[in-house]
Structure 1
Amino acid sequence: MRVEKIVGNNVVLTVDPVSSKEYVLFGKGLGFACKGTEFIRKDDARIERRYKLDEGEPMERYESLVDELDPDVIEVSDRIIEMMKERLGTPVHPKVYFALPNHIQFAVYRLRNGMAIDNPFLIETKLGFPLEFEIAGIAAEMIENKLRINVPEDETGFLALHVRSAAVTTPVGRLAMLAAAINDTVERVERGLGIVVSRDSRSYFRLVAHVREAFESLAEDRRPDNPLRTHIRETYPNEYGIASESMRQAADALGYTGDIEDEAGYLAMALNRFVQTYEK
C-alpha cells in the first residue's frame, strides 16, 4: 500500500498501487510508524482496521481536510478518540477521525474570536446521552489543556453528539435532529396535555427517558409488536396523537422508513402514565 498522507499518530491515507483503490488504515501508532516511509504492507500487524473509500469519497477530499487542520487539533483529537474507544468499549466509526478534528477546529476558531456557541438541545443531550456527555466532558478538558481555551458546556453538548455518532455510526446531523425531536415532543406534551414541565425537575427527566426509549427502538430497528395499538389510539387519543407525530419526526431524523405506529402506541401509554403521576 502506498502511503499518501499521515493523519496524526494513528491514521494513514493509502492507495493500493495494483487496484488504485483508496483506503484509510487505522492502528495505534501506525501514523507515527509510517513517517518517512513510502509503502506499508497490507498484512502489517499494526493495522487494526481499514476503511475503503468509495467513488463518492475521493482521497483529495480527505487530504484537503487534513491539510487545513492545526497539528495540535489533530493530536488532541487522536487522544480523545483513544479515550472514547476505551470508555465506550467499542470500535468507533472511521469517519470520526476526520469529523471530530474538523469540528474541534471550527469550535476553537469561534471561541478564540469571541463568537458564542449556543446549543438549543443541551438539556436533551445531557439526559438522552449521559455516558456520551460524560465522555465529552473529559474531551472538553483535554481540549482546554492542549489548546489553552475555555470550552463552555454548550460545546460539550455538541462534542457528546460526536461521541454518540462515533459509537452508533449515526451522522451527527441526524443526532442533532433527534435531540430536536425530543425537545419538540416535550413541547407537544405541554401544549396537548395542558401542563408545564420544569426543565430541572424529576418529571422532565422521566419524560425525556420515555421519549428517548421510544426513539432508540427506531434507531435499533426493534420493531415491537403492539396488539393493543387500536385500543390505545381510541382510549388515549391526545397522547396517541402526540406520540404518533413525535415518532414520525424521529423516523425522519433517523432516516427510518418502517412502521412507527406500534411504538407510537407504547409511547402514548407512557405519556398517559406520565401525566397521571406528574409532579409540578
Structure 2
Amino acid sequence: MSGGREYRIERAVGNNVILTVRVDTGKEYVLFGKGLGFEAKGLQTIPGDDPRIEKRYRLDDKEEAGRYRLLLEEIEPESVAIAERIVERIREDMGIPVSPKVYFALPSHIQFAVFRLHSGMEISNPFLEETKLAFPQEYAIAAEAARMIEEAFGIPIPEEEVGFLTFHVHSAAGELSAGQLARRTKLMAEMIALIEQEGEIAIPRRGSDYARLVMHLHHALDRLAEGKSATNPFADEIADKFPEMHRIAALAAEKMEKELGLPVGKNEIGFLAMHVHRLLEAYRQGDN
C-alpha cells in the first residue's frame, strides 16, 4: 500500500460520507461510498484504492474546507441520516449520479426547515405551481422525502416545503444549485405575471395552458443557459403579423436577458410570441 494514496479519516458524516485528509498532500477530501462512513468508524486511515470509494471531492481552499467543517459541526445526525435516505432515493428513481455537494446542502436545508416549522414560522412558496409543473419527477421524489422527514421528526411538512425540497432533488442530479433553480422558477413566475399584465388576462394556474407556458419557459431557459439557439423560420412574419403579441414577448425576453445576462434572439422571442398569441386569443375571447 502506497502511503501517498492513503487518506487520514477526520470524521464520518453519516453512513456514506467521510471527511479526510490525503496523507501525502495534506489536502482535504470528502469521500463517498455506500456504507463508507459506517465502516470507517474506529479506523484512522483508508487506502485511496479502497473499492468502497465511489466518488471523491476535494476541498480546494481553506475557506471552503472551513465552511464545510463548520457546517458539519452544526448539522444534527438525524438530519444527515434522513438526507442520506433521500439521496439514495434520488439515485434509485432517477438512475443517475448525484452531486457530492448535496450531501451537505440537503441536511443543512432539512435542519433549517425543521427548525422553522418547530418554531411556528410560516413557510411561504409563491412559485409552488411553477415548480410542480417544471420538475414533476423531482417533485414526486420531494413529496416522498417530505414523508420521510415527517416520520423522522414528527412534524407535518407543508406542500410549500415540498416545493423547496424539489430544488434540492433537481440540484442533486444537475449542475444548477438549489438557489439557482429557485431564482429560475421565480423568473418564470415573473415573466408569466408580465404577460398577464401586458395582455390584460388571467391564466388559470391549474389549467393546461398554464402548464404549457411554464414548460415552454423552462425549456427556453435551459436552451439559453446551454448556449443553444432555437430555429424559427417564421420569426419575422410573427413580428409583422402580431405586433402586440411580439411586443409582450420581447418584454418578457428583456426580463430573461437581465436575469441571465445572456442575449435572447428573435427566434426565441418569436416562439414565445406564438404562445402569447394563443393565450390572448383564448382568454380575451373568454371575457367577451
User: By the TM > 0.5 criterion, same fold?
Assistant: yes
| Residues in 2 aligned to 1:90 and 1:256: alpha-carbon distance in whole angstroms | 30
Out of 70, 88, 94, the position equivalent to 1:64 is 70
Q: Determine which structure has more spread, i.e. the larger CA radius of gyration.
A: 2
Q: Does 1:146 align with 2:140?
A: no
Note the 1:236-247 alignment, pairs <5 A. 236-247=242-253
1:202-250 Cα shifts (integer Å, max 9, x gaps): 3222222222222222244322244443333333333333333434444
In structure 2, relative to structure 1, the CA distance for the partners of 1:249 and 1:57 (3 Å cut) is farther
The residue that corresponds to 2:14 in the other structure is: 8
Task: Tell me the equivalent position of 1:31.
Answer: 37
The verdict on how the C-alpha distance between 1:12 and 1:248 changes in structure 2, with shifts beyond 3 A counting, is farther
Report if aligned partners of 2:20, 2:28 keep a CA contact under 8 Å in 1: yes
> Does 1:135 find its partner at 2:132?
no
- Select the residue among 251, 275, 278 that pairs with 2:280: 275
Which residue number corresponds to residue 81 of structure 1? Answer: 87
Range with bigger deviation, 148-157 or 15-24:
15-24
Q: How many residues align?
A: 279
CA displacement at 1:57 relative to structure 2:
5.0
Q: Which has the higher contact order (CA 8 A, sep 6+)?
A: 1
CA contact (8 A) 2:224 2:262 kept: no
Are 1:262 and 2:279 counterparts? Answer: no
1:186 counterpart residue number? 192
Distance 2:17 2:52 in 1: 11
Structure 2: how far apart are the matches of 1:5 and 1:251? 44
Choose from 189, 204, 208 the match for 2:214. 208
Match status 1:232 vs 2:238: yes
Whichever residue aligns with residue 90 of structure 1, its letter is: I
| Distance in 2 of aligned mates of 1:171 and 1:225 | 29
Instruction: Evaluate the alpha carbon distance shift between residue 40 and residue 117 of structure 1 in structure 2; reply closer, same or farther with a 3 A threshold.
Output: same
Distance 1:245-1:165 versus aligned 2 partners, 3 A rule? farther
Of the three residues 218, 227, 230, the one matched with 1:221 is: 227
TM-score, with structure 2 as normaliser: 0.89
Amino acid at match of 1:4: E
The residue identity in structure 2 corresponding to 1:275 is L
Query: For the residues of structure 1 that align with 2:96 and 2:63, how far apart are their CA atoms?
Result: 25
2:67, 2:187 → 1: CA distance?
32
Bigger drift between 208-217 and 174-183 goes to: 208-217
| AA of the residue aligned to 1:9 | N
Quote the Cα distance in structure 1 between the aligned partners of 2:215 and 2:132.
Answer: 11
Distance in 1 between residues matched to 2:128 and 2:161, nearest whole Å: 9
Q: What is the SS of the residue equivalent to 2:47?
A: coil
Shift of 1:265: 2.2
Identical pairs, percent:
44
Where 2:68 maps in the other structure, the secondary structure is helix
Provide the residue aligned with 1:101 in structure 2: 107
The AA in structure 2 aligned to 1:272 is: H
| Superposition deviation, residue 252 in structure 1 | 5.1
**Whole-Å separation in 1 of the counterparts to 2:229 and 2:62:** 32
Q: How much is the aligned-residue C-alpha RMSD, in angstroms?
A: 2.0
What secondary structure is seen at the aligned counterpart in 1 of 2:262? coil
Measure the CA separation in 1 of the matches of 2:196 and 2:45. 61
Who is 2:164 aligned against? 158
Which residue identity does 1:178 align to in structure 2?
A: R
Unaligned runs of at least 5 residues, structure 1? none
Q: CA deviation at 1:176?
A: 1.0
- Kept in 1, the 8 Å contact 2:230–2:268? The answer is yes
How far apart are residue 48 of structure 1 and its match?
A: 0.6
**1-structure distance, mates of 2:180, 2:255:** 11
Cα pair 1:135 1:163 within 8 Å, conserved: yes
Any gaps of 5 or more consecutive residues in structure 2?
1-6
